[in-house]
Structure formats: structure tokens, C-alpha cells
């Protein structure tokens, strides 16, 4: 029978164990409550009864995390997502160094979150914390550790996240940008890329991955089923979309499609059939840097606070929601993995529309009595 002792503010268990006729008890502390210590002790006794060694060798946390994400995550995530896991691994290595995962307590992990978040935004802290929590959950499952040291910890961040209005344009400024792009399409292919980014809501890697065959000018649709590696940490050439839901066909307005039909008929053909091909670019397509520079110039000329090309994707979605498109449709059009992603990203727009919905409700029942 295990015994439980209180040690300061935490609890410790002691489980009797005979090895070669000699007592070699197993002791473990650092439990927040007596109940946690009792449950952990019961698990040790159960393993002893089954003939298992309940004390695994200590494993450096960084080493365990690296093996874990390469085994369970790497085979099924994109190269971009994989970079996020590698970023989390780097943070673990820098802070915990050679510390074993079995030696980390909730207090230690909270100190890590405090230090990590001191120079980072909420989104970055939340993503790394999510990676570590998943890893720790599997470590519990594998009986590497007995306690989830990430439980009941608090996320800390110092760098403020961008406000929703900083990531996208409002409806009025969107109209001004759209008119400006149309009037400058003869000045270069970059303007056509910005036009399509605004009117389609595609991700940048999807835009530069488009080929001539992806355009159906009869039905006014564009097929999105691949991406193009446009930066250092992405695979070269064509690659898969971000997720299964990102493989989609979207309907486009007639005017935009007519522009691209004329554009493609007058453009020289390249080997890959890329629409936004650039012979001067390292990656053979218009670079994200050049596209952002051009967008900044256009917006500054209009006296509009600059956003990024990715911000045009947020602008596209915000316009659709503002004009009454369903959240389900917007989610499918953007190629989000699930509707919760869309709800999280565009909560600010939905809140703005709530007042409009309330007025519709009140007016509807009031007019029914007229």
C-alpha cells in the first residue's frame, strides 16, 4: 500500500518495492493535490503488479518533442506547418536545454510561458503552447510522465496582436482600391495579381500556383488544387494545398474572368503554364515581397493605411459577410479546414452585423402587425 506525504505545498507518494530481497521504494513528488499523488501511486502499483518497470529512463524534453512531432505530425502536415513545429522545438531547446521531461513541473512551464511570451504576440504563444500540450498529452499516454505540467497554466504575451481593422480594408476603401486596380491593369502583371487576390480571396501560394488550365472561362470558375513554392521554407515548384478543404472550385465575377481571358491570350507561354510567371524571380513567380510593395504603393496613393496581400484575403471575406453571405459559404470559398476557423477569424465582422440583425428582427415583427 502506498503512503502519501505532504511536502510543503505539494504531495509525494512512496510505493514499496522489493528488488533482490531488498527494499527499494519508489518515491515521486510535486503533485498539486493528495488525490493526484494517490492516482499516480495507484498507477505505479498497477504497473508493478503487471511486471512492468514503472520508472522510465529520463528523456530530454527537446529530444522527446522532436521525435514526437516528426513521428506523429510531419507525415500529415504541410511544410509551412512543419516549420511552426520546428519553431516550437527551437523555443524548447533554448529555454529547457537538457532538462528531462520528467523533471518539469507546472511552475517551470509557467516560467517558460512568461519568458517566451515577453517578446511575442498572443497567436505565437498560443500556437507553441498548443504544440507542447499535444506532446505532453501523448507523453502521459506513453507513461513517460505522470502529471500534465501544462495543466492550468496561463498564457502570457507582450506584443499586441494586430487589430482586425489593421488586417483588412473596410467596404468603402475596398471599392476605391478595386477601381484603382482596374485603372492600372495595363501597368504590369502585379496589378492583375492584386485584383485576383481581392476578388477571389485566395492565399498567395494558391494565386502563384495557378495555371492556364485552372481557368474555366465558360462557367466563370477557377479551380484551386495546388500551390507554388514562393519562399525559402517552401518546397520548390508545385505543392499540395494547405488542407483537403482547400481543394475547391470558386465562382468569379464576369468582368474579372474576361480580363484574365484576354490577359492569357496575349501572354507568352511558359513551361509550367504559370499565370503569374516572372523570369526575373528566383522562384519563377511574382514574389510576395514585390506584391506587397506594389499594394503598399497603391494604397498610399489612395491615402489608405497599408495592409499586406494576405490582408486582401481577409478583406474579401469581410466584404462577403458584410453583404450577407453565409459563414458556411465564406468558409468553403476560403478553403478553411472547418467553420470554426472562419468564426474565429471574422468574429469582429459578425459582431458588427449583430446590430443589423437585431434591427431586422425588430422591424420584421413590427411590420407583421401593421
pLDDT in tens, the chain (370 residues): 688 999 888 898 888 887 777 888 888 888 888 888 888 888 888 877 776 666 667 899 999 999 999 999 998 887 778 889 999 999 999 999 999 999 999 999 999 999 999 988 888 999 999 999 999 999 998 878 878 999 999 999 886 766 654 588 988 999 999 999 999 999 999 999 999 999 999 999 999 999 999 999 999 999 999 999 998 777 789 999 999 999 999 999 999 999 999 999 999 999 999 999 999 999 999 999 999 999 999 999 999 989 999 999 999 999 999 888 999 999 999 999 899 988 888 877 777 677 778 888 888 888 887 6
Reading the block at residue 88, the C-alpha cell is 516550437
Do 42 and 72 reside in the same domain of the chain? no
In-domain check, residue 86: yes
Query: The domain that contains 264 carries what CATH number?
Result: 1.10.443.10
Do 291 and 324 reside in the same domain of the chain? yes
Do 278 and 191 reside in the same domain of the chain? yes
In-domain check, residue 56: no
Do 209 and 342 reside in the same domain of the chain? yes
Q: Nearest-CA neighbor of 250 among 184, 343, 309, 316? A: 316
By residue range, what is the domain housing residue 331?
164-356
- Residues 290, 295, 301, 303: what is their CA dihedral angle, to the nearest 10 degrees? -140
Number of domains in the chain: 3
**Angstrom distance (rounded) from CA 52 to CA 66:** 26
- Note the pTM of the prediction, 2 decimals: 0.61
pLDDT of residue 165: 47
Q: Nearest-CA neighbor of 318 among 357, 348, 295? A: 348
In-domain check, residue 45: yes
pLDDT of residue 346: 85
Contact 160, 118 (CB under 8 A): no
In-domain check, residue 114: yes
Do 289 and 252 reside in the same domain of the chain? yes
Tell me if residue 11 falls in helix, strand or coil: strand
Pick the last residue of a domain from 141, 172, 188.
141
Contact 129, 87 (CB under 8 A): no
Helix residue ranges per DSSP H, 215-337: 254-266, 288-301, 309-322, 327-334
Do 75 and 211 reside in the same domain of the chain? no
In-domain check, residue 365: no
Do 216 and 184 reside in the same domain of the chain? yes
Residue 131, Cβ density class (10 Å: 0-12 exposed, 13-18 middle, ≥19 buried): buried
**Angstrom distance (rounded) from CA 247 to CA 334:** 10
| Other CB atoms within 10 Å distance of the CB of residue 180 | 17
Do 65 and 40 reside in the same domain of the chain? no
What residue has cell string 518539469? 104
Do 255 and 284 reside in the same domain of the chain? yes
Amino acid at each position: 500500500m502506498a503512503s502519501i506525504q505532504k511536502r510543503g505545498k505539494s504531495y509525494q507518494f512512496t510505493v514499496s518495492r522489493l528488488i533482490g530481497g531488498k527494499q527499494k521504494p519508489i518515491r515521486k513528488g510535486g503533485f498539486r493535490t493528495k488525490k493526484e499523488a494517490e492516482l499516480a501511486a495507484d498507477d505505479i502499483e498497477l504497473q508493478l503488479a503487471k511486471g512492468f518497470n514503472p520508472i522510465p529512463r529520463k528523456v530530454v524534453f527537446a529530444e522527446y518533442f522532436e521525435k514526437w512531432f516528426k513521428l506523429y505530425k510531419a507525415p500529415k502536415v504541410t511544410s509551412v506547418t512543419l516549420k511552426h513545429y520546428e519553431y516550437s522545438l527551437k523555443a524548447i531547446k533554448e529555454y529547457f536545454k537538457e532538462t528531462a521531461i520528467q523533471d518539469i513541473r507546472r511552475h517551470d512551464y509557467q516560467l517558460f510561458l512568461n519568458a517566451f511570451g515577453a517578446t511575442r504576440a498572443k497567436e505565437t504563444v498560443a500556437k507553441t503552447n498548443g504544440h507542447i500540450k499535444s506532446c505532453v498529452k501523448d507523453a502521459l499516454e506513453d507513461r513517460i510522465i505522470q502529471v500534465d505540467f501544462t495543466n492550468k497554466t496561463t498564457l502570457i504575451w507582450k506584443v499586441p496582436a494586430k487589430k482586425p481593422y489593421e488586417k483588412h480594408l473596410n467596404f468603402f476603401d475596398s471599392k476605391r482600391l478595386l477601381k484603382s486596380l482596374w485603372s492600372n491593369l495595363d501597368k504590369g502583371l502585379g496589378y492583375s495579381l492584386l485584383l485576383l487576390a481581392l476578388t477571389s480571396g485566395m492565399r498567395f501560394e494558391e494565386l502563384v500556383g495557378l495555371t492556364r488550365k485552372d481557368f474555366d472561362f465558360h462557367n466563370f470558375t477557377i479551380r484551386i488544387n495546388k500551390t507554388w513554392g514562393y519562399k525559402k521554407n517552401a518546397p520548390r515548384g508545385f505543392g499540395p494545398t494547405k488542407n483537403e478543404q482547400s481543394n475547391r472550385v470558386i465562382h468569379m465575377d464576369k468582368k474579372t474572368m474576361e480580363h484574365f481571358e484576354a490577359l492569357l491570350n496575349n501572354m507568352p507561354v511558359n513551361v509550367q503554364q504559370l499565370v503569374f510567371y516572372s523570369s526575373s524571380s528566383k522562384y519563377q513567380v511574382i514574389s510576395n515581397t514585390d506584391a506587397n510593395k506594389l499594394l503598399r504603393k497603391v494604397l498610399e496613393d489612395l491615402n489608405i493605411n497599408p495592409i499586406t496581400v494576405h490582408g486582401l484575403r481577409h478583406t474579401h471575406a469581410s466584404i462577403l459577410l458584410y453583404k450577407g453571405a453565409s459563414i458556411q459559404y465564406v468558409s468553403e470559398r476560403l478553403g478553411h479546414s472547418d467553420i470554426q476557423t472562419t468564426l474565429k477569424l471574422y468574429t469582429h465582422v459578425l459582431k458588427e452585423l449583430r446590430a443589423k440583425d437585431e434591427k431586422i428582427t425588430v422591424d420584421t415583427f413590427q411590420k407583421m402587425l401593421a
